[in-house]
Chain A
Amino acid sequence: MKLLAKYNRVNVLATIIVLLLSAIIYYFFIKAALIHQLDKSLKVEEREITDYIKENNQLPEPSNSKDEQENYSQANETKVNRKFSSVDLFNKEHNEYISYRQLEFPVTVSGKLYKADVRKSQVETEDLIELILKITLAIVMLLLITLFLINRFVLSKLWKPFNSTLYQIKQFNLSGTDEMQLQQTDINEFTELNTAVSFMTKRASHEYNEIKNFTENASHEIQTPLAIIKSKLELLSQSESLKEDHMNTIQSVYETANRLSKLNQSLILLTKIDNRQFSETEKVDLSTLIVDHLNNYEELINAKQIIVTKNIEPNVNVTMNETLAEILIVNLMTNAIKHNIDSGSIQITLSKKYFSISNTGNKLQSEPSELFERFKKDRVNSDSLGLGLSIVKKICERYGYEISYDYSSLMHTTTINFNL
């Protein structure tokens, strides 16, 4: 829910409640005041009647108009209480009930007790109350319309700097070089927000660059000693005077150094993808890429007597970084070859919607869901680093592709859905 909508909801609700409450209070106060007024005039009537009786010693003529009625009746009781009350009486002329305020009081004429009723119509009072209600309703309507108009024309304009800042934040790319262009505003809250946002993004960019440089430098610093170790071992292995067990040792150290450097390179690659480097994208022709790499591994495939079934749609283009596309394809393809069995098979399918590669192979020892995690390898003593598939997954995540793994009828299948 929008902040504005929420605020409006509370605001409108509160306003309506207050207005209705005040209408009710009005109603009672005004009614009370009007009745008080009527009662006063009824008292005047009462005095007039008692004065008349005192003077003439007889009852005045009863009157019966719509607005005012006077009645006299002989009292059966010995005592008549003086009291005010409201009554609804049927008016034959108008064929409707009309509310009256009436005063009953005792009068004595020639020693006889009479009950006198003086009534005055309350119609005016009711009209007034109706008017008040109408005015209140009109005010509520007016208020709603005003709020609507304010929302429509004023508030959206007021929030414009905020929305612009929000857009900038959404567009913000750490690896990008552009600084944020925040809109100037004279609203304190937004100025403060802009200051905070630009401070934060500047700091983030700064730290991002530091980490990036650190990654680069770490790579440099680690690779150079490794290069020295490897070159020295390679030179050492040229020596004619080595014994067999020396050779074995040298080879094992050499391979370990190799592995360490591969590990380092893979981790750097993962970090770089995470940091959204490799930002240059272009149209990559996956069909050609796959066929080219398949040719590269032709001899390996033949050596293992693997049968390859291709179902590759030509001219399948995806927009991504070329290096990453290549890493993606090579990692999956080499996995399918390396983890295959002799006289096994590989099936490669590429369409505009998805890429899938299946290979025969032994059943996984570990959970398939863990397959894409870092350093997860199926067999403890395997030569692989356990990073290939997490690199593949990272690349897929980067471009919003869906990757899934499935094992059925002795085939391992990895599918990448391009979500185009």
Chain B
Amino acid sequence: MKILIIEDEKDLSESIVAYLKSEEYVCEVASTYNKALEKTELYDYDCILLDITIPGGSGLDILRELKANNKLDGVLIISARNSLDDKITGLTLGADDYLSKPFHLSELSARVAAIIRRKNFDGNDLLKFQNISIDTRAKLVSVNNKPLELTRKEYELLLYFVTNKKRVISKNAIAEHLWGDNMEGNNDFIYTHIKNLRKKLSDAGDADYIKSVYGMGYKFSE
């Protein structure tokens, strides 16, 4: 999986690369408009992370260029300009998603994974982790080939864990992912959800993959 990160802040792009690399993505970085244009013209990427304000031009122009050339690269706009106009323009121009800065890297990773899943034309919608398999199209989960009944939020939580496996995920990131901006700071809610999911997974006969990391959050690993 190849990912292009169009972002002029070196520190930020480095962090993104470091986080995504362990998901076995191949990451490239373009920090100026011209460099970005050059790369998008030459290569195809599974997903492009696009900052709107970059030196030398607008990220939206790169998006227009991509669409004009019928490129199929998935595009995730990452912008600090939390302005509605940019979001709407970006999405109508054909971007797949929009994430405003600052974001949780785990959220970014989940969004990238979702875009790649959607763009994936080989028809394989199954996401696997050990004995768990998730059918992302039908939104069904099975453990040891037996279907597992999950609520909507539990499903989203599991998917979030699987797309961020072996990573420490903060409670805030989970709360924001599940309920949006307004629910952070109420981490008891998350505890209940984790407990329920854990119980359902272990009832289905699987090991306990959800590890609490003291003071930080949770980690999903074997």
Contact = CB atoms under 8 A, between A and B. Distances in A.
B172 A254 contact: yes
Contact of B101 (A223, A235, A384): A223
A146 B105 CA distance: 81
Interface residues of A, number: 47
A297 B183 CA distance: 10
A229 B192 CA distance: 29
20 contacts: A221-B80, A224-B102, A226-B101, A227-B102, A231-B12, A231-B105, A232-B15, A234-B105, A237-B168, A248-B214, A251-B170, A255-B172, A262-B181, A278-B84, A299-B151, A299-B154, A299-B193, A300-B179, A303-B192, A323-B84
Contacts of B214: 244, 247-248
B209 interface: no
B82 interface: yes
B80 A300 contact: no
A224 B9 contact: yes
Interface stretch (A14-22, A73-81, A135-143, A330-338): A330-338
Interface in A234-272: 234-235, 237-238, 244, 247-248, 250-251, 254-255, 257-258, 261-262, 265, 268
B101 A224 contact: yes
B11 A220 contact: no
Interface in B18-66: 18-19, 53
Q: Of residues A216, A297, A300, which shows the largest number of chain B Cβ atoms within 10 Å of its Cβ?
A: A300
B119 interface: no
B106 interface: yes
Interface in A116-159: none
Contact of B216 (A220, A228, A247, A331): A247
B71 interface: no
B215 interface: yes
A228 B202 CA distance: 38
Nearest to A232: B15
Contact of A383 (B9, B106, B185): B185
A219 interface: yes
Contacts of A257: 102
Contacts of A232: 11, 15
B55 to A, nearest CB: 13
Given A227-B102, A262-B184, A234 B170 contact: yes
B154 to A, nearest CB: 8
A338 B216 contact: no
Nearest to A268: B82
A230 interface: yes
Contacts of B103: 227, 230
A215 to B, nearest CB: 9
Nearest to A250: B216
B153 A216 contact: no
B145 interface: no
B19 A234 contact: yes
Nearest to A388: B182
B168 A227 contact: no
Given A234-B106, A244-B215, A228 B172 contact: no
B83 interface: yes
Contacts of B167: 238
A227 B56 CA distance: 22
A224 B170 contact: no
Q: Closest 3 CB pairs between A and B?
A: A383-B185, A231-B15, A227-B102
B189 interface: yes
Contacts of A258: 172, 184
Nearest to A222: B80
Contact of B168 (A228, A238, A296): A238
A237 B216 contact: yes
Contacts of A221: 80
Given A224-B9, A228-B9, A235 B15 contact: yes
A383 B184 CA distance: 8
Contacts of B12: 224, 227-228, 231
Contacts of A261: 102
Contact of B80 (A223, A234, A255): A223
B189 to A, nearest CB: 5
Interface in A282-341: 296-300, 303-304, 323, 330-331, 334, 337-338
A228 B100 contact: no
Contacts of B151: 299
A244 B217 CA distance: 12
Given A234-B104, A268-B82, A296-B179, 18 more contacts: A223-B101, A224-B80, A226-B102, A227-B12, A228-B15, A230-B105, A231-B16, A231-B19, A232-B15, A238-B167, A247-B216, A248-B215, A258-B184, A300-B189, A304-B189, A323-B84, A334-B179, A338-B183
Interface string B134-149: 0000000000000000
A244 to B, nearest CB: 6
Contacts of B172: 254-255, 258
B81 interface: yes
B131 interface: no
Contacts of B123: none
B127 interface: no
B53 A220 contact: yes
A227 B182 contact: no
B11 to A, nearest CB: 4
B186 interface: yes
Contacts of B72: none
Given A223-B80, A230-B102, A257-B102, A235 B9 contact: no
